Amino acid sequence: MRAIFNGETIAQSEHTVLVEGNHYFPPDAVSSEHLDRSRLKTLCPWKGIASYYTVSAGGASARSAAWTYRHPSPLARRIKNHIAFSPGIQVVDR
């Protein structure tokens, strides 16, 4: 899978985890230079607290367009530190 924003590949992996229609990329598969931590946090009843990133590439940015669960609930442990992207970021099968 690849995540593309503004024509640039920002994440790529053969081993994403699919949860609720979102592909969660392993942390080492995401180009960290495209992510800036956001202050936004949300609570999912079964996954836990999500922390967000602003995604930037090619001179454009999308606020809070990526998220991760740094300390997920036991039910969501397989996505710990993995990063998913909002619909504004194109995620395609390579």
Alpha-carbon gap, residue 82 to 62, rounded angstroms: 19
List the domains of the chain with CATH numbers: 2-92 (2.170.150.40)
Which residues touch 30 (CB under 8 Å, ≥6 apart)? Answer: 3, 10, 11, 66, 83
Residue 66's alpha-carbon distances to 33, 57, 94, in angstroms, are: 13, 13, 19
pTM: 0.95
Alpha-carbon gap, residue 16 to 63, rounded angstroms: 23
**pLDDT tens digits for range 17-72:** 999 999 999 999 999 999 999 999 999 999 999 999 999 999 999 999 999 999 99
pLDDT at 94: 78
pLDDT at 62: 97
pLDDT band at 3 (very low <50, low <70, confident <90, very high): very high
- What's the start-to-end Cα distance of the chain, in Å? 5
